[in-house]
Amino acid sequence: MNTPIKEQQEGPVNSPTSQRVGSLLKSKRFYIVMLLFTAQIINYIDRVNLSVAAPLISKEFDWDPATMGMIFSSFLWTYVLCLVPAGWLTDMIGARKLNAWAISIWSTAAMLTGTITGLPTMLAARLALGVGEAATNPSGGKVIRDWFPVKERGLVSSIFQCGTLAGPAIGMPFVAWLVVTSGWRMSFVIAGALGFVWLIFWHKFFYNPKECSWLPPEERDYILANNGGAETAEAPVKKQFSFKSLSVVGRLLSQKTMWGLAVAQGCIIYTLYLFLTWLPSYLVLAKNFTLMKAGIFGTLPYVIAVILGIFFGKLSDTILTPENVAKGKRRQMVIGFMLLSSVVLFTTVVDNEYAILLLISLSLSAIASALSLNVALTNDLIGDPAIAGTAFGILILGGNTFGLIAPILTGYIVKSTGSFSSAFFLAGAILIFGAFISFSLTRKPIRFN
């Protein structure tokens, strides 16, 4: 079962079955890739629904930009509080159970957003959305660690994280169409129901590799031999809840590398959330786009970012040797893409709408690459796979602590200056700071001994 990679490349590996096992696209584990990818898509459709509907909602309830900024940010208040517990629970009970509960909560909250009567009910729906969505990224990181060989980690992480961009790319025109044809309230009901459709497939297909009945034995052996020592399927059931098991959080926070990964993630997420929450309003308010045109035109940067993000994730797997992966050399690509994404700074000096969208497309593409590669880098640097879920909870907590600030701060900047220029300038400066943090603090593996 634990045949080394080198030995697997000899003899029988040339058979058609072995070639399918070694190819991600031809393998059965690709089903898991698609489950992770579509979960992120639905996750972000439910997030951007509010962004697209915001001009109509703010007009109906007479909410100013500062109030809308608070509403955009509100789901992140509970989201960040639940990230580390969600990661820890993933290690304790497994991703199968946790994700089933999580998507049920967030889909219900998304649907109930269509019934709001004012600010209190809007905030309640957004806070519930944050609770449910908190499990997606920590459990996704854990699933990648358990299900995929080391040499596929960059590509799979890129596909998973590009769901955060494919969601807006699909969601913005889809929700804009729903809003125009059915009203903004029904758009939340229909979009929220997508999560329950996904849940059917999750229950049918997702198990840990060792207990997955539809996974061919040869592919199961290949995964377990090459995933860097990930936990077996039985591990989550053997664990017991205890205060001692919570000590892993403190031990991870004592690691300089964990802080470097989390802060770098935050600097990337800040700009991503600026785009996710304010891009439609920016196009409508600053560029006088119609809502439908903003939905369609705002999709293009996300489509480009998805394609390039996956390409660069695959490129990192191709050019990095196993030795360089173990040494955290993927860090160099993370830094490079963070610096490239800071081109958002130049939107402050460009007036042409197509030039601005080109800059946003380039920035988003680099953000997609930096985000997925930072997730892959975290997996590279985790010494003990048993703590992967908790580590990813801390990573995403760092990211979204910055992320919850972005919508609020952008709202106040726009309200006080009457312009988006200072908001984009600040985002570029934060990305440059994040590149410095990644360069300085992510040089050693995360180990407890």
Question: CB–CB of 358/341 below 8 Å?
Answer: no
Write down the pLDDT at residue 122.
94
* Pick from 241-255, 291-305, 311-325: least confident: 241-255
In degrees, rounded to 5, the angle at the alpha carbon of residue 13 between the alpha carbons of residues 10 and 14 is 100
* Pick from 331-345, 351-365, 419-433: least confident: 351-365
* Pick from 237-251, 267-281, 329-343, 401-415: least confident: 237-251
Residue 409 scores a pLDDT above 60: yes
Domain around 260: 26-227+249-441
Residue 198 scores a pLDDT above 90: yes
In a domain, 166, yes or no: yes
Residue 238 scores a pLDDT above 60: no
Please name the residues in contact with 50: beta carbons below 8 A apart, sequence gap of 6 or more: 57, 71, 72, 113, 126, 277
Residue 93 scores a pLDDT above 90: no
pLDDT (average), residues 52-66: 88
Here the tokens at position 139 are: 């459990």
Write down the pLDDT at residue 52.
85
pLDDT (average), residues 199-204: 92
In a domain, 238, yes or no: no
Write down the pLDDT at residue 449.
64
119 vs 347, higher pLDDT:
119
CA-based nearest residue to 155, from 28, 265, 318:
318
Question: CB–CB of 380/392 below 8 Å?
Answer: no
Residue 244 scores a pLDDT above 80: no
- 446: β partners: 382
Q: What is the pLDDT of residues 258-302, one digit of tens each?
A: 999 999 999 999 988 888 778 777 777 777 777 677 766 667 787
* Strand ranges (E), 54-96: none
* Pick from 8-22, 321-335, 404-418: least confident: 8-22
User: How long, in residues, is the chain?
Assistant: 449
Average pLDDT of the chain? 82
In degrees, rounded to 5, the angle at the alpha carbon of residue 64 between the alpha carbons of residues 60 and 67 is 100
Confidence of residue 340 (pLDDT cuts 50, 70, 90): very high
Write down the pLDDT at residue 8.
42
Write down the pLDDT at residue 302.
78
Confidence of residue 322 (pLDDT cuts 50, 70, 90): confident
CA-based nearest residue to 150, from 319, 376, 368, 331:
376
Confidence of residue 233 (pLDDT cuts 50, 70, 90): very low
Share of the chain above pLDDT 70, in %: 89
CATH code, 307: 1.20.1250.20
pLDDT (average), residues 213-233: 76
User: How many structural domains is the chain composed of?
Assistant: 1
In degrees, rounded to 5, the angle at the alpha carbon of residue 192 between the alpha carbons of residues 67 and 295 is 60
CA-based nearest residue to 178, from 192, 188, 163, 167:
188
Question: What is residue 382's three-state secondary structure?
Answer: strand
Scored b (16 or more CB within 10 A) or e, 185-196 reads bebbbbbbebbe
Write down the pLDDT at residue 5.
38
In a domain, 236, yes or no: no
List alpha helices for 242-299, DSSP H.
247-253, 256-285, 291-297
pLDDT (average), residues 235-240: 46
Residue 241 scores a pLDDT above 50: no
Residue 439 scores a pLDDT above 80: yes
Residue 420 scores a pLDDT above 80: yes
- Got the DSSP string for 342-378? GGGGGGGS---HHHHHHHHHHHHHHHHHHHHHHHHHH
447 vs 187, higher pLDDT:
187
Task: Say how far apart CA 155 and CA 296 lie, in whole Å.
Answer: 28
208: left (phi over 0), alpha (psi -120 to 50) or beta: beta
In a domain, 447, yes or no: no
Confidence of residue 13 (pLDDT cuts 50, 70, 90): very low
